[in-house]
Structure 1
Amino acid sequence: MILLIDVGNTNIVLGLNDENGFSASWRISTDANKTSDEYGIQVTQLFHQNDINPRDVEGIIISSVVPNIMYSLEHMIRKCFNVDPVIVGPGVKTGINIKYDNPKEVGADRIVNAVAAHEKFRRSSIIIDFGTATTFCALTKNGNYLGGNIVPGIKISSEALFQRAAKLPRVELEKPKGVICKNTISSMQAGIIYSYVGGVEYIVRAMKKEMMAVGEDEPIVVATGGLAKLIAESTDVIDIIEPQLTLEGLKIIYEKNKE
C-alpha cells in the first residue's frame, strides 16, 4: 500500500493506492503552524476511522508547493510510518522533459499533473488545475513540458471582491441561471464565474494556437482540481475532467523511483 500526499496552499490531499487501485482519500487543511505530532494524530485518526493499519503503508511520496511545512510532514511520516518518503523535486525521475528556463521553478504539482496526463493520454495536452491558483500547462505528445501560466484561483478572486468592496457580501460559488441578474448575490456569482470561464477559454485558445504553430496536433484539454466541474459546465473547451490526476501522477512517479 502506497500513501500519496499532495500539499497545496489551502489543502493537503492524501490518497491510498494498493493492488486494487485507490482505496481511500482524504483532504485536510494546510497549516504550517502544526507540529509533526499534531499532523500524526490527524492522519492516524483518518486511518483508524477507515479500519486501515498505518503499518500496512509500504511507501510514501509527497509533492508540495509549501516548503515551510515539509519538516513537520517528513518528521511525522518517519515517526508514524517508519519509511523515508520520496519527495518530488530535482533528481526525481518523472519521464518528462521540462523546457522551463529554470526547471527548478516549476511547481511540483504541475510536474505531477503533467506526468499523469502524459502516461494516460500520450498526446499533446493542456492541463488546467483549478486550485488556490489556477495553472495552465502545455505538454507535447513526446512528453516535453513547454511551460504555461498561472492566474489567481477563482476563490481568491471572489474573496478579493468581498474584501475590497465594502457593500458587497461574500457569496457561494454557484452558477446562476443567466448573465443578466436581478439581485446583488446572483450578479456577483455571474460576474465571478462567467468572467473566469471567459479567461479560461481565451488562454486555452491561445495555448492551442502556439502549440500547433510548432507542429503539435490540436491538444486535448484536461482539467483537475476542486472547481474543475463548475467551470467545465459552462464551456466546451475542457475535454476531460480528471479529479484524481495529481494522485495518479504521484503513483506513477513513485513507481519510477521506488528502487
Structure 2
Amino acid sequence: MLLAINIQNSAITLGCFDRQGNLCVVSHIASETRQTAEQYACGIDSVLRLRGCDAGKISGAIICSVVPALSGVLREAVEILCRCEVVNVSSGVKTGLSIRMDNPRVVGSDLVCVAVEAAAKKQLPALVIDMNTAVTFTALDESGALVGSIIAPGMRIGLESLHTKAAQLPSIGLTRPHTGLLGKNTMDAMASGMLNGTASMIDGMIGRCRDQLGDNLTVYLTGTDAELAAPYLTETVRRVDDMVLYGLHRIWMKNKRREI
C-alpha cells in the first residue's frame, strides 16, 4: 500500500491507496509542532489500526506539507513506523505539471497536488478550490498549466479572529446556523456570516476567474470545510473529497515504478 500524507496547519490527513489506486483508508490527526517523530509514529499507527489498516503493509509514502516544521518530523515518523521509502513533494519531484508562476519552486505543494489531479481529469480550463485553514484557488488554463492562484482566509480563522478581536463575540464552532441567513442570536449571526460570507466570496471569485479563464471553466471543490460550504454556493462546482491525496498518488506513480 501507499501512504499519502497531507500536512495542513490545523490537521494532517492520511490516505492509504491499494495497488489498484483505490483510496481505501482516510484518517486525520492534529497538527502539533511540539510532537516528536516517535509520537507521530504512534499516532499514525493507532489511527490506521482503527481503520483496519496494518502499517506493516505500507511499502511507500509520499508527503505534501504547508508546515515546514512538520515535514521532516513526519518523514522520520513514517520511516520509523513503516521502514519504507518516503517522497516529499518538492521542486525536485516529477509532477508532469507546467507551472507558469513567478517562482515555480516556491509554489505550495498542496496547490501542485490538486493541480496535477485536475489536469489529469482533462476538463480544462479548471479551478480548484481547497477549503482548509486558508481557502486556496488554483487555476489551470486550457493546456493544463498552473497559471495562478488566490489565497484567502478560511472560515475557522475568521471565527477565531472575531472572537479574539471583538470583545463581545464568543468563541463558537463552525456549524450551520439554525435560523437561516438572518441570525436571531449572536452565535447564529456569526455562523451565517462565515458560511454565507465565504460562499459569496467563493461565488464571486469563480465568476471573476471565469472571465479570465473562459466560460467553459470546470470548478472543483475540496478540503476539510468543503462539505459545510457547498450547500451555500450558487455556482456549480464538482465536489471531490481528498483531492490532494489523489494528486499525491499520481505524483508517486510518476516518480516510482515499483509495486506498492
TM-score in terms of structure 1 length: 0.93
Q: Distance in 2 between matches of 1:121 and 1:228?
A: 22
Gaps of 5+ in 2: none
TM-aligned CA distance change 1:122 to 1:92, over 3 Å: farther
Cα deviation for residue 178 of structure 1 reads 2.8
How do 1:1-259 and structure 2 match up within 5 A? 1-20=1-20, 21-176=22-177, 177-212=179-214, 218-259=216-257
Cα deviation for residue 148 of structure 1 reads 1.4
After alignment, is 231-240 or 34-43 more displaced?
231-240
The runs of 4+ residues in structure 1 deviating greater than 4 Å are none
Q: What letter matches 1:125 in structure 2?
A: A
Q: Distance in 2 between matches of 1:29 and 1:133?
A: 16
TM-aligned CA distance change 1:121 to 1:233, over 3 Å: farther
Secondary structure of the residue aligned to 2:152 is strand
Check whether the contact 1:95–1:143 (CA below 8 A) recurs between aligned residues. no
TM-score in terms of structure 2 length: 0.93
Q: What letter matches 1:4 in structure 2?
A: A
After alignment, is 22-31 or 39-48 more displaced?
39-48
RMSD between superposed Cα atoms in Å: 1.5
Check whether the contact 2:63–2:75 (CA below 8 A) recurs between aligned residues. no
Cα deviation for residue 51 of structure 1 reads 4.2
Check whether the contact 1:221–1:238 (CA below 8 A) recurs between aligned residues. yes
Q: Distance in 2 between matches of 1:194 and 1:51?
A: 38
Q: Distance in 2 between matches of 1:122 and 1:181?
A: 39
Q: What letter matches 1:106 in structure 2?
A: V
Check whether the contact 2:25–2:53 (CA below 8 A) recurs between aligned residues. no
Check whether the contact 1:118–1:141 (CA below 8 A) recurs between aligned residues. no
Q: What letter matches 1:173 in structure 2?
A: L
Q: Distance in 2 between matches of 1:7 and 1:201?
A: 27
How many positions carry a matched residue from both structures? Answer: 255
1:63-89: CA deviation from partner (whole Å, max 9, x where unpaired): 011111122212222222112211101
Cα deviation for residue 175 of structure 1 reads 3.0
Gaps of 5+ in 1: none
Check whether the contact 2:61–2:86 (CA below 8 A) recurs between aligned residues. yes
After alignment, is 5-14 or 173-182 more displaced?
173-182
After alignment, is 77-86 or 26-35 more displaced?
77-86
